[in-house]
Amino acid sequence: MGCFTLGFFEQILIWLVGIAAIFGLVKVLLPLVVGPLGAAGGAVIAALGIILWAIVAIAVIILIFDLLSCLVGGMSVHVLPR
């Protein structure tokens, strides 16, 4: 699939929606599962929240570098012969 085509953007949007859905489900279900642990449950929820944000940040970084590699890869550098 070529860079910056409709198929390319379709795949990016599918990945973004999937990541957002998983993130949202975990954020909703996590307090229900870990809540009965009391004070320790609050610490576990906070730690897992940090891990979730780290995963989202890594996904965004990968997306940005994929877009940059498509942009730079699409540019052709012509070197004049000597």
Tens of pLDDT along 21-68?
888 888 888 888 877 877 777 788 888 888 888 888 888 888 888 788
Residue 55 within any structural domain of the chain: yes
Residue 80 within any structural domain of the chain: no
Q: In terms of residues, how long is the chain? A: 82
Model confidence, pTM: 0.64
Q: How many domains does the chain have?
A: 1
Higher pLDDT, 74 or 45: 45
Residue 45 lies in domain: 17-72
Cα-based angle 5, 8, 9 (whole degrees, multiple of 5): 90
Residue 12 within any structural domain of the chain: no
- pLDDT surpasses 60 at 71: yes
DSSP state of 48: H
